[in-house]
Amino acid sequence: MHDVTLIVNGVPRHARVPARRLLSDFLRHDLGLTGTHVGCEHGVCGACTVLLDGRPVRACLTFAVSVSGQEVTTVEGLARDGELSPVQRAFAECHGLQCGFCTPGFLTTVTAFLRENPAPADDEAIEAVAGNLCRCTGYQNIVKSVHRAAELMAEEGP
Amino acid sequence: MTTRLFGEPVRRREDARLVAGNGRYLDDLGADALAVAFVRSPHAHARITGVDVDDAIDVEGLVAIYTWEDLPEGVREPLPLLIPHPALTHGRTAYCLAKDVVRHVGEPIVMVVAADRYVAEDVCERIRVSYEFLKPVVGLENAVEGPNLVHDDVPGNIGAHMVQEVAHRDGRATRDVIAAAPHTLEFRLDIERSACMPMEGKGVYARWDADDRSLRVYSSTQTSTSVRMAIAAKLGLPLPKVEVIAPDVGGGFGVKIVHPWPEEILVPWAARLLGREVKWTEDRREHFVSSAHERAQVQHVKVGFDDEGRVLGLDVEILHDHGAYTPYGIIVPIITSTQLLGPYKIGSYRVEFFSVYTNTVQVTPYRGAGRPQGVFCMERTMDKIAQYLGKDRTDVRAVNFIQPDEFPYDQQMIFQDGRPLIYDSGDYPESLRKLKDLIGWDDFPAMQAEAAAEGRRIGIGVGCYVEGTGVGPYEGGHVQVTSDGRVHVSTGLTSQGQGHETVFAQIAATELGVPIEKVSVVTGDTRRFGYAVGTFASRAAVMSGNAIALACRKVKEKALRIAADALEADPADLEITDGMVHVVGAPSASIPLATVAVLSNPLRYAFDEEAKRATQFATGGGMDRPPVAEGQEPGLEGKDYYSPVRSTFASGMHAAIVETDPDTAEIKILRYAVVHDCGKMINPMLVEGQIHGGVAQGVGGALYEKMVYDEYGQLLNASFMDFLMPYVTEIPRIETDHLETPSPLNPLGIKGAGEAGVIPVSAVVAGAVEDAEKIVIDRMPISPSDLYALRDSSRTSGAVSLLRNTQ
């Protein structure tokens, strides 16, 4: 058993877990942050994407013990002071989700992407979400959401 | 109706919770529950000769191990055959845990309950099952022709055989009509297996309350009411002691309408037995090998037609692969057989199917549910007729269309709901006109020639379909207005991302004249509504939407009557606007709906200021009348059911332009256009979303997805790495246009929209690739290597690849 402490959404969180505990299970079952979803368990679908020190990673391919001490942002940490982030609002506004199961992975991925590229061209927006599977939306409104989020961020400033 | 919300692109009320990570899907519940894992068969066909648990029992955290022998009466019987049919003469279903013989890779044999999933899987790895191998049956034609049997007592592996025939109006049989037709064609079509593949797999979580002797079960299901009845029956519990809730469900697409899954019986059974909370969450590999697939068919087609391309006779023989078991009956091939007719008047029609056992995962409806196969057959037929006669493909379709003045149109068959296949409304010529405009059909030949001059191959395809939606038998709605002015709506069917909380709130707000913010909607919770059928067959909006509207009308009538008393007005002069009941044209003579709710429930006790107004010394009224009038009930609430005489038929037409790479045979969809008619739209934004998602699944089925079984019955691509579902990079931008032909069958004039997008895509893409390549495409999906091989074989055979005037 190993002591794992992560800064999750700005708060230090600790649990004692076996070495094989995946980061996805650690977040969901040890910390109770169930917003991060697991769709394929082998890094293909992207539903479990979280931000590790600001960069998107597959939580289902990461051992919790291997990232002890690092900062993790999950979908629960995207809103600020109770207000949904521009990316979250854009997905709701553009009907960029249906069942919502894959959505947390898109939201974290797009959040990191727009920090690097705040005004993406269409092919860049498509490329940004090309590693995440969605079975409901057909993606059209997800791409629209990426552009809308960029607009909202530009309007609202940093 | 003054609050216009019906028909508006209202934003979804589900989303605030879902984008914040506050959704509650099955595995998000039951943090302290024990976990379940299964030992599943690694063999497609084998007799179980022993289960050895010696190495497993010492694993720390193990709670229980169960095999079939451990199951009590009720749980040990075969699972129900949900939809019996006279033609299904040899229906067979599985056991919750395999008894003696396993018939597909993935069939559950041993159930393990442990402290968590990691431990449960450790235990599974240490359990040794020994087998005597039996010959597997894989592939439709092997099943029918080969000597091996999936079930010893099912000769020829044929579970069902059904023939339906609609003779020519002069009484001649279809085959005679075809024999006498001026032109005939005969060909074979193949469609591969695919599957729903919701992003969330199945899952069950059960809590037994020993004090209350009651069971609460959460399941990622498309029908909580029916799961509840199945659990109560199998476990021998009184129905009121069992509640089933579908929480947020991460997609269904059909696979979650099947029930009870073994786990839906086993998990509640174990929870009661152990007196502990128990949960099973399906992993992705389990979903591939132990849930359900769909689509696989082989079709043999003969068609006779005249010089205009009018179909005089159509004769279709279908081999349908239903896998190892038939829990959902033969609904899929019945839908293929009946919906194959599409928007056309076919002179005479004979359809025969054999539904066949193989040692593969069972086949149950996947979005479209047999229609994609039927439409593939009919639309390939139309293309071949056009090719043969040298006519435009849309002209051949147009000459066969049912005309707008011919509705209701009786196809003289029996549909999947056991009711006559009568189309209620539609305008197919107008749909086709809109589609041709949208895609630029008439300009395409010039575009194709231009591309050819640059060495590029592009092609265009078209596909039409009619979809029976809103099948019965019924759904219900309950609407309650409470004294705080809130409106609580519930219906029994479940939600998997369709946006029911939004559209049902739109309907209730519109009907009652209240702000939508006051309305809340609950679906799929048997504590709130016990009678329902489920969410499938594009039926939720039609069935529950109308039921909720009817329930609202009851509530409104009661509200107006009570308000009329209070306002000393005639109920006929009242209307409700923004939550205020008022005299038409005189907004000052008004009373809030919240107050009406207070007055509707005569009280003895005043628990708050509002309630004080309804207590017995506060209300005046006639002293010679009882406080609750005869025939009335306290409270401002209403319940009603909608039960249609038959299904309502939506329709649509798609067209695509594809480009094929002359060297690599890569296939790219350049444009995709959809014209869709689902009657009156409750929320056009959500209808578009349904179409986008459906088309994307259709593109998956046309170009990428298939279940690859080897000759031993091993599923070789049982992961998202190998089963190729489309990412954003594979899906074209979808251009849409709508037609709204209201249904005359229901009060709201609506038709279903959930499945439409997926239905014609394989047919459309096949037609477009054929047009680009001038090679016959009779098998879908088509991959670049398939196309490359087809090019090779058509070159080496030296055959003129297309059919034109070969007879």
| Residue B249, CA distances (Å) to A95, B23, B257, B314, B470 in order | 17, 9, 12, 41, 21
**Cβ burial, residue B609 (10 Å; 0-12/13-18/19+):** exposed
CATH assignment of B472-642, among 3.30.365.10, 3.60.21.10, 3.40.50.2300, 3.90.950.10: 3.30.365.10
Q: Which two tokens stand for residue B15?
A: 């989303």
Q: Is-contact B770 B459, C-beta < 8 A?
A: yes
Strand positions, DSSP E, B661-703: 667-677
CATH number of the domain within which A120 lies: 1.10.150.120
Q: Are residues A104 and A42 in the same domain?
A: no
Verify whether the Cβ–Cβ distance A136 to B693 is below 8 Å: yes
Verify whether the Cβ–Cβ distance A139 to B720 is below 8 Å: no
Q: What secondary structure letter does DSSP report for B525? A: B
Q: Is-contact B199 B251, C-beta < 8 A?
A: yes
Q: Which two tokens stand for residue B687?
A: 């209808």
Q: Are residues A71 and A93 in the same domain?
A: no
Q: Are residues A11 and A70 in the same domain?
A: yes
Q: Are residues A10 and A31 in the same domain?
A: yes
Q: Are residues A8 and A72 in the same domain?
A: yes
For residue B122, which amino acid is it? D
Given CATH 3.90.1170.50, say whether it is the number of domain B32-134+202-281: yes
- Residue B440 sits at φ, ψ, to 5 deg, of 75, 45
Verify whether the Cβ–Cβ distance B28 to A28 is below 8 Å: yes
State which of A54, A77, A100 marks the end of a domain: A77
Verify whether the Cβ–Cβ distance B689 to A95 is below 8 Å: yes
Q: Which two tokens stand for residue B798?
A: 């030296």
Residue with tokens 């990691």: B118
* pLDDT at residue number B631: 86
**What is this structure's pTM?**
0.96
Q: Are residues A73 and A101 in the same domain?
A: no
The whole-angstrom distance between residue A47's C-alpha and the CA centroid of its chain comes to: 8
For the sheet with B779-780, list strands across it: B158-166, B349-357, B311-323, B297-305, B183-191, B779-780
Q: How far apart are alpha carbons A129 and B695 in whole angstroms?
A: 19
Q: Which two tokens stand for residue B278?
A: 């128990």
Q: How far apart are alpha carbons B151 and B157 in whole angstroms?
A: 7
B494 to chain A: which residues are within 8 Å by CB?
Answer: none
Q: What secondary structure letter does DSSP report for B511? A: H
State the helix-helix crossing angle for B684-699 and A140-156, rounded to 10 degrees: 130
Q: How far apart are alpha carbons A112 and B168 in whole angstroms?
A: 64
Q: How far apart are alpha carbons A54 and A51 in whole angstroms?
A: 5
State which of A77, A107, A135 marks the end of a domain: A77
Strand positions, DSSP E, A18-155: 49-52, 55-58, 71-73
A97 to chain B: which residues are within 8 Å by CB?
Answer: 15, 18-19, 497
- Residue B86 sits at φ, ψ, to 5 deg, of -55, -30
CA of A69 vs chain B CAs: smallest distance (Å): 23
Q: pLDDT digit string (tens) for B43-92?
A: 999 999 999 999 999 999 999 999 999 999 999 999 999 999 999 999 99
Question: 10 Å Cβ neighbour count for B623?
Answer: 5
Domain that holds residue A64: 2-77
- Residue B229 sits at φ, ψ, to 5 deg, of -65, -40
B23 to chain A: which residues are within 8 Å by CB?
Answer: 35, 100-101
Three-class DSSP category at B780: strand
Q: Hey, which residues 684-703 in chain B have their CB within 8 Å of chain A?
A: 685-686, 688-689, 691-697
For residue A31, which amino acid is it? L
Reported as half-sphere exposure (CB side, CA atoms, 13 A), residue B548 has a value of 33
The total number of structural domains that make up chain A: 2
Q: pLDDT digit string (tens) for A19-78?
A: 999 999 999 999 999 999 999 999 999 999 999 999 999 999 999 999 999 999 999 999
The CATH number assigned to the domain with range B297-471+645-796 reads 3.30.365.10
Name, in order, each residue with C-beta under 8 angstroms of B772's C-beta and a sequence gap of 6 or more. Answer: B457, B458, B459, B658, B659, B660
Q: How far apart are alpha carbons A38 and A28 in whole angstroms?
A: 10
Domain segments of chain B as ranges: 32-134+202-281, 297-471+645-796, 472-642
Q: Are residues A46 and A94 in the same domain?
A: no
The number of C-beta contacts closer than 8 angstroms across A and B is: 169
Question: 10 Å Cβ neighbour count for B588?
Answer: 6
Q: Is the dihedral of CA B76, B80, B85, B90 positive or negative?
A: negative
Question: 10 Å Cβ neighbour count for B800?
Answer: 11
Q: How far apart are alpha carbons B195 and B193 in whole angstroms?
A: 7
Q: Are residues A121 and A141 in the same domain?
A: yes
Angle B668-B669-B675 from CA coordinates, rounded to 5°: 170
Q: Hey, which residues 24-63 in chain A have their CB within 8 Å of chain B?
A: 28-29, 32-42, 44-45, 47
Ranges of H-type helices in B600-654: 609-612
Q: Which two tokens stand for residue B694?
A: 């459906």
Q: Are residues A53 and A118 in the same domain?
A: no
Verify whether the Cβ–Cβ distance A35 to B497 is below 8 Å: no
Q: Are residues A92 and A146 in the same domain?
A: yes
DSSP B363-392: B---TTTTHHHHHHHHHHHHHHHHHHHT--
Q: How far apart are alpha carbons B412 and B410 in whole angstroms?
A: 5
Q: Is-contact B795 B774, C-beta < 8 A?
A: no
Taking CA–CA distances from B200, the nearest residue in chain A reads A39
A27 to chain B: which residues are within 8 Å by CB?
Answer: none
* pLDDT at residue number B1: 39
**Cβ burial, residue A117 (10 Å; 0-12/13-18/19+):** middle
State which of A38, A56, A77 marks the end of a domain: A77
Q: Are residues A107 and A71 in the same domain?
A: no
B116 to chain A: which residues are within 8 Å by CB?
Answer: 29
Q: Are residues A50 and A70 in the same domain?
A: yes
Q: What secondary structure letter does DSSP report for A153? A: H
CATH number of the domain within which A48 lies: 3.10.20.30
Q: Is the dihedral of CA B265, B270, B273, B275 positive or negative?
A: negative
* pLDDT at residue number B609: 81
Q: How far apart are alpha carbons B778 and B185 in whole angstroms?
A: 14
* pLDDT at residue number A158: 67
Q: How far apart are alpha carbons B354 and B300 in whole angstroms?
A: 12
Low-confidence ranges of chain B (pLDDT < 50): 1-3, 799-800, 804-807
| Residue B224, CA distances (Å) to A22, B217, B356 in order | 32, 9, 30
* pLDDT at residue number B607: 83
Q: Which of B116, B253, B689 sits opposite A137 (nearest CB)?
A: B689
Question: 10 Å Cβ neighbour count for B583?
Answer: 17
DSSP B718-751: -STTTS----GGG-PPEEEEE-----SSSTT-B-
Rg over alpha carbons for chain A, rounded to the nearest Å, is: 15
Q: How far apart are alpha carbons B524 and B81 in whole angstroms?
A: 23
* pLDDT at residue number B588: 83
For residue B171, which amino acid is it? G
Strand duo A71-73 + B242-245: pairing: unpaired
